[in-house]
Structure 1
Amino acid sequence: MTGTETDVDLRVLGPVEAVRAGRPVALGGRRQRMVLAALLVAQGRMLPVDRLRELVWGDGDRVASRATLYGYVAGLRRVLEPEHAARRGDVLVHAGTGYALRLRPGRVDAERFTALVETGGVLLDRGRPVEAATTLDTALALWRGPAFADLGDVPFVLPAVTRLAAARAAAVELRLTALLQAGRHAVLVGELEALVIEEPLRERGWELLATALYRAGRQGDALAVLRRARRTLAEQLGADPGPALRRIEVAILHHDVTLAPAAVSVSARQRPHRPLAGRVLRVRRYAPGRPSP
C-alpha cells in the first residue's frame, strides 16, 4: 500500500458518495454504484466475480458478462484512484477470484459513526455526559439521509440499511440519555415528544420522556405518557410494556430517589475531551431495563 488511498473517503449514511482530496467524485451510473455498494457491504471481504455479478444484476432477467463488470471496476478505479492504471489499484483490489475494498480505518462514514457512538457511550459511563452528548452530536451529524439512500431498494443492501437505521436510533436515544444525565430535562421534553411520535415502538423513548417530565415537576404528565405507551404497544403490537417501562411507572408513583438527576461535577463538564484508547466498531445500546439516567 502506498498511502494514496488515505485521500479516499466513502459515504453511505445518505446517498452513496466518494470524496477524494476533499472533493466529491462522480461514481457513474446506477450499476457502477451498485458494484461499489456491494463491496462496501462486504466490509473488506473478497467478493468472487460471479457473486458480484449476481448481486449487481440480480434484479434483472439476465446477469451481465464478466467484461461488463470489469468495465465498471475500471470506471470506479479511475475516479477513486486515478494515479493507478485501470487494471490495478490499492483501494479497489483484485483479490483471489474477485474484488475487495482496502481502506484504512475510519475511511467509511459508517465506521466513523460507530466508533464515535462507542466513545460517547464510554464517556457517559465515566460520568461525563456533556462530552458524551457532544461526541454523539458529531456522530449523528455524519448522516445525510437514510443509509444507501440512492440504492435503498437494492436487495443486497437492505440488511445493512436496517442495521444502520437501528444503530442511528440507538445513538439518538443515547444522546438524549446523556443530555438528561446532564440535567437538560426541561428543554428536552419537546424533542422527546417528537421522538416517540417518530419511533412509537421503541420503548426507550417513552422511558426517557416520562423521566424528563417527572424531573421537570410534571408527575401527572409523566404517568399519562406511560399510559400512552401502553396503549400504543397494545394497539400496534398486541404487547404489554417491557420491564423497564413498568419499573419507571412504579418509580414515578413512589417518587423513587433513583429518578433524580445524577450529579455532574464541574470538573467533568470542563475537562477537555481526550481520545479514548482503542476503537470498538460496534454500536453500544442501553439494555432493556437499565436504570434511567
Structure 2
Amino acid sequence: MRIAGGAETQSAARRALLTALLLRRGQFVGMGELTELLWDDPPSSAVANIRSHLTGLRRGLDSAQPGLSKRLTTSRGAETGYALSVDANELDLSCFLKLARQGKELLAAGDHRAAAGRLDEALALWRGPFGQRLPSTRWFHAHTVGLSNTRFEACQDFFTACLLTHRTEMLSYRIETVLAEAPYRQRLWQLLAATYCTQGDVAGALGVIERCRTVFADELGLDVPPGVEAIRAAALTWDTERAHRLVAEMARQ
C-alpha cells in the first residue's frame, strides 16, 4: 500500500490498521473492532499492541508526507476510537465505486460505449485482488468477499459493454482471467460463450458450455444455467444476433 506515492507501509499490522481506517473513511473505528480485524483470538496485550502500531502508523504517515498524521484523529468517549480523514477523490476505492455505479447505470440505459469507457476507467484503479498481505481474520474475510464481488460485478458489466460494442479483441482472454478467480459466476460463462458465438466460433462456444456443465454438475450438482443454455441454442443455429440480444437483455436486468 502506498500513500500519495510515498514509501510502502511495511508492517503487516500497520498496513491492516491503515486499510481498515481507509475502508471506513472518516468514521471512527473503536478499539474493539480494531482488535477483531487484527486477531480472531486476540492476545491479552492487544490494546497496548494496537496503540503501539498506531503510533508507528502516525510516523509512517508523516514520513510519506509531513503533517499527514494530523488526519488520524482519536475519539475518547465510552470507547476509544480512531478515524482517518480522507476525501472521496483521494481514495481509489471511492473512485472505483463511483465509476462502477455510473458504468452500470449507462449500461442499463443502453449507452454501451460510454459504459465501457467508464467501467474500463474503474477497473484500471485495481492493482490486484483485495486482501493480499492482510490478516486472515473473519473481519477482513467479510470485507474481502464483499469487495471482490463488487469488482467481479464491474468486470461483468465491462465485458457486457465490450461485447455489445463489438470490442471483442482479447475479450475471451480477459473473461477467462476473471473466471479463473470466480468459476461459479453464471454471467461470466454466458459472456464467454457469447463472445465465441458472436465471433462465429461455434466449437469454441460449445466447448465453453461443456466446461460450464462440468463445473456446475460435478462440483455443485446443478444444471447448466439457463442463460448459458440459451447461448448454446444460438450457437447451434449460427444466430449471432440472438446471442447479442441475450447479452443486451442481461445488461438491462
TM-score by length of structure 1 reads: 0.70
Give the structure 1 partner of residue 183 of structure 2: 200
Cα distance in 2 for partners of 1:186, 1:65 equals: 53
C-alpha displacement of 1:233: 0.8
Cα distance in 2 for partners of 1:155, 1:188 equals: 35
Give the structure 2 partner of residue 61 of structure 1: 43
Cα distance in 2 for partners of 1:54, 1:214 equals: 48
C-alpha displacement of 1:26: 4.9
C-alpha displacement of 1:79: 3.8
TM-score by length of structure 2 reads: 0.79
Identity of aligned residues (%): 31
C-alpha displacement of 1:49: 2.8
In structure 2, the CA distance between the partners of 1:59 and 1:189, relative to structure 1 (3 Å rule), is same
In structure 2, the CA distance between the partners of 1:76 and 1:229, relative to structure 1 (3 Å rule), is same
- The yes-or-no answer on 1:131 pairing with 2:114 is yes
For 1:157-172, list aligned pairs within 5 A. 157-172=140-155
Pick the aligned partner of 1:72 from 44, 48, 53.
53
Cα distance in 1 for partners of 2:50, 2:175 equals: 47
Give the structure 2 partner of residue 232 of structure 1: 215
In structure 2, the CA distance between the partners of 1:157 and 1:41, relative to structure 1 (3 Å rule), is farther
- The yes-or-no answer on 1:259 pairing with 2:243 is yes
CA contact (8 A) 1:119 1:132 kept: yes
Q: Which moved more, 1:193-202 or 1:176-185?
A: 193-202
Cα distance in 2 for partners of 1:42, 1:218 equals: 47
Pick the aligned partner of 2:162 from 169, 175, 179.
179
- The yes-or-no answer on 1:18 pairing with 2:3 is yes
Structure with the larger RCO, 1 or 2 (CA within 8 Å, 6+ apart): 1
Give the structure 2 partner of residue 83 of structure 1: 67
Cα distance in 1 for partners of 2:47, 2:175 equals: 51
Question: Structure 2 unaligned runs (5+)?
Answer: none
Higher helix content, 1 or 2: 2
Give the structure 2 partner of residue 275 of structure 1: none
Cα distance in 2 for partners of 1:65, 1:259 equals: 57
In structure 2, the CA distance between the partners of 1:186 and 1:54, relative to structure 1 (3 Å rule), is closer
CA contact (8 A) 2:37 2:135 kept: no
CA contact (8 A) 2:157 2:251 kept: no
Give the structure 1 partner of residue 29 of structure 2: 47
Question: Structure 1 unaligned runs (5+)?
Answer: 1-15, 263-285
